[in-house]
């Protein structure tokens, strides 16, 4: 429960069976309240009011804020008593570590930015002089329809692909719209863009294709072109000349690149120095073994708890679905080590003793203790709320707890190292898919052996996936196939695409061989699953009453006494 709950309902003190005003309090100049925790002065109250937003001058507002301040102090003291519980003490230490780490990271990033800002005009000039001659580059814009034919395809399968492409050509000859056919019949990722490819320059395509495509006139199309990946029909949309940047614009781009490189080099060098100084030993090769036990040490830290493969895998598993798919254990280890190194350096430099940092840590500690006490009291005040009342809330808020359709997936992810060679990566995985469908291979065992995704430690278990997170990770085509598949069906290889925001195109990133393990229909989440969330919602709906009762108890617990006009 956040301290703000105490301010959720601001009522006169008398309504809280308030302590009586005291002449002893009034006789002390500047004192507006006293309690077992000490006195509150007008200056202290003014400073508190200033932290709560726009100042209101009326007496009732000041009294309300005074009650709030006293209750927070009472909650803070009560929270201090909870530190005898190991889990509360550990949670407080984590919170303080996060605050200290944020300050250490802010200072570290400022140093990295300084390294980036140190790029000199002379360095920019030298990089510009060494750059290739910025002559104008002619490019062509193509639209195509693609039918994939795997090297593993048997004669019948190849014949079906030939017939399908011949039918497409006949429809084009009869006046069918090229883009519409590409959208519905092409096997390329460009189908989402009606077959439109990113502009290509000479040398971007296979030499055999270039001899055909660069001779086309705008609007002209080829017949069926046979390549190692399959069958294609191209149409030339037009030609364009890439504009040449002016010298100043070119140098701006170069400076931006050099600054990024300088910043990255500083971060890598500084973290490496910090690791060496602490004697840290990282064993990356152990992350590549999907059968490594959880207690396998990935990073040894003298005098500290080592980082294990199991710890990294649990951290990775806790990430949201798209983040899991776009990261690996090495990246998780890098983040873990940078956090630990920065926190270690902050402690060794006694960063927490610097006045501004100590003040921030003190405020974080007080807020945590008050919040812990308020959470305990809120739990006690709502302990009597029964399932019947929560079920009524569940029904009334049915839309809030609706879940979209989802699929439980198990699969093999093979990353594409070079997007230009994506087709070459298809055939080996297609061969594996055929063996899996024939029962020659086991999917879980094969995932452990060849998947590039950390889920291989779980036999390729990708977890539950919904259409929107799937699209964020894999592009527009994968969700359509996966969400239409019934339980038990093996799909793929499906092309996973990452969006290049600079070129505004989807780029091949990986191939996915995936089986739908289970299907969860759209509908409300089960009551038992969302009960904790329902209880939080109940508390939010009744925050005024809970806050009023909680504040009355807290003020009574410290025997608070207020003056008539604080």
What pLDDT score was predicted for residue 424?
76
Distance between CA atoms of residues 415 and 471, nearest Å: 17
Q: Do the Cβ atoms of 225 and 217 come closer than 8 Å?
A: no
CA–CA–CA angle 429, 433, 435 (5° rounding): 115
- Count of CA atoms in the C-beta half-sphere (13 A) of 95: 18
Q: Does domain 405-521 have CATH number 3.40.1390.30?
A: no
Helices assigned H by DSSP within 174-246: 178-185, 207-213
Q: Do the Cβ atoms of 436 and 443 come closer than 8 Å?
A: yes
| Tokens 């294990």 belong to residue | 308
Pairing assessment for the beta strands 230-242 and 137-148 based on DSSP bridges: antiparallel
| Distance set, CA 421 to CA 10, 61, 107, 204, 496 (Å) | 66, 69, 42, 12, 14
Q: Model's pTM, two decimal places?
A: 0.74
Distance between CA atoms of residues 34 and 41, nearest Å: 9
Q: Which residues of 47-56 are buried (b: 16+ CB within 10 A; e: fewer)?
A: eebeeeeeee
- What's the fold here for domain 137-242? Chitinase A; domain 3 (3.10.50)
CA–CA–CA angle 92, 52, 555 (5° rounding): 65
Sign of CA dihedral 441, 442, 448, 453: positive
What pLDDT score was predicted for residue 60?
79
* Residue 512: CB atoms within 10 Å: 26
Please name which of 31, 54, 9 lies closest in space to residue 564, comparing C-alpha atoms: 31
Sign of CA dihedral 337, 338, 342, 345: positive
Same topology, domains 137-242 and 405-521? Answer is: yes
Q: Do the Cβ atoms of 186 and 195 come closer than 8 Å?
A: yes
Check residue 221 and report its DSSP letter.
B
Sheet holding 31-35, edge to edge: 38-41, 31-35, 561-562
**Regions of the chain with pLDDT less than 70:** 1-29, 53-58, 133-136, 242-245, 499-505, 564-566
What pLDDT score was predicted for residue 335?
92
Q: Do the Cβ atoms of 359 and 69 come closer than 8 Å?
A: no
What pLDDT score was predicted for residue 135?
61
- Please write the tens of the pLDDT for every residue from 99-148: 999 999 999 999 999 999 999 999 999 998 887 766 667 888 999 999 88
What does the domain layout of the chain look like in residue ranges? 137-242, 265-348, 387-401+525-540, 405-521
- Please write the tens of the pLDDT for every residue from 411-459: 999 988 877 777 778 888 999 999 999 999 999 999 999 999 999 999 9
Please name which of 197, 232, 236, 238 lies closest in space to residue 216, comparing C-alpha atoms: 236
End-to-end CA distance of the chain: 28
Distance between CA atoms of residues 409 and 490, nearest Å: 10
What pLDDT score was predicted for residue 361?
95
258: exposed, middle or buried (C-beta count within 10 Å: 0-12, 13-18, 19+)? middle
């Amino acid at each position: 429960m956040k301290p703000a709950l105490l301010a959720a309902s601001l009522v006169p003190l008398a309504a809280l069976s308030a302590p009586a005003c005291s002449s002893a309090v009034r006789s002390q100049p500047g004192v507006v309240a006293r309690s077992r925790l000490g006195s509150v002065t007008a200056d202290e109250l003014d400073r508190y009011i200033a932290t709560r937003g726009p100042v209101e001058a009326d007496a009732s507002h000041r009294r309300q804020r005074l009650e709030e301040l006293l209750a927070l102090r009472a909650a803070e003291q009560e929270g201090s008593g909870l530190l005898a519980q190991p889990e509360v003490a550990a949670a407080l230490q984590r919170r303080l570590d996060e605050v200290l780490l944020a300050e250490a990271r802010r200072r570290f990033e400022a140093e990295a930015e300084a390294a980036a800002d140190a790029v000199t005009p002379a360095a920019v000039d030298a990089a510009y002089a060494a750059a290739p001659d910025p002559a104008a580059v002619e490019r062509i814009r193509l639209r195509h329809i693609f039918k994939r034919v795997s090297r593993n395809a048997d004669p019948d399968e190849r014949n079906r692909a030939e017939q399908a492409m011949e039918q497409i050509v006949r429809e084009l000859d009869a006046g069918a719209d090229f883009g519409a056919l590409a959208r519905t019949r092409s096997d390329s990722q460009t189908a989402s863009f009606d077959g439109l490819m990113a502009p290509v320059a000479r040398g971007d395509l296979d030499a055999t294709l270039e001899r055909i495509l660069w001779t086309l006139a705008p609007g002209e199309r080829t017949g069926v072109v046979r390549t190692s990946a399959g069958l294609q029909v191209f149409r030339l949309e037009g030609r364009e000349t890439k504009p040449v940047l002016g010298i100043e614009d070119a140098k701006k781009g170069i400076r931006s690149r050099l600054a990024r490189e300088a910043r990255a080099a500083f971060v890598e060098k500084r973290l490496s120095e910090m690791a060496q100084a602490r004697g840290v030993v990282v064993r990356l090769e152990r992350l590549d073994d999907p059968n490594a036990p959880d207690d396998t040490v990935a990073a040894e830290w003298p005098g500290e708890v080592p980082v294990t493969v199991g710890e990294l895998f649990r951290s990775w598993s806790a990430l949201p679905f798209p983040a899991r798919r776009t990261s690996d254990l090495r990246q998780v280890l890098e983040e873990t080590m940078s956090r630990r190194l920065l926190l270690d350096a902050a402690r060794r430099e006694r960063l927490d003793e610097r006045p501004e940092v100590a003040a921030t840590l003190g405020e974080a500690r007080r807020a945590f203790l008050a919040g812990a006490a308020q959470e305990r009291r809120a739990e006690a005040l709502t302990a009597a709320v029964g399932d019947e009342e929560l079920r009524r809330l569940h029904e009334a808020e049915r839309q809030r707890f609706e879940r979209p359709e989802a699929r439980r997936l198990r699969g093999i992810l093979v990353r594409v190292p070079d997007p230009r060679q994506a087709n070459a990566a298809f055939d080996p995985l297609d061969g594996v898919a055929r063996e899996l469908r024939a029962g020659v291979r086991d999917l879980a065992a094969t995932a452990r052996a060849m998947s590039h995704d950390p889920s291989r430690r779980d036999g390729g278990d990708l977890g539950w996936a919904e259409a929107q997170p799937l699209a964020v990770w894999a592009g527009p085509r994968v969700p359509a196939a996966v969400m239409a598949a019934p339980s038990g069906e093996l799909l793929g290889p499906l092309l996973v695409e990452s969006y290049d925001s600079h070129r505004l195109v989807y780029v091949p990133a990986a191939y996915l061989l995936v089986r739908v393990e289970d299907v969860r229909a759209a509908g409300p989440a089960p009551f038992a699953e969302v009960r904790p969330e329902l209880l939080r919602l109940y508390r939010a709906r009744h925050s005024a009453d809970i806050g009023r009762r909680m504040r009355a108890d807290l003020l009574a617990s410290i025997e608070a006494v207020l003056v008539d006009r604080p």
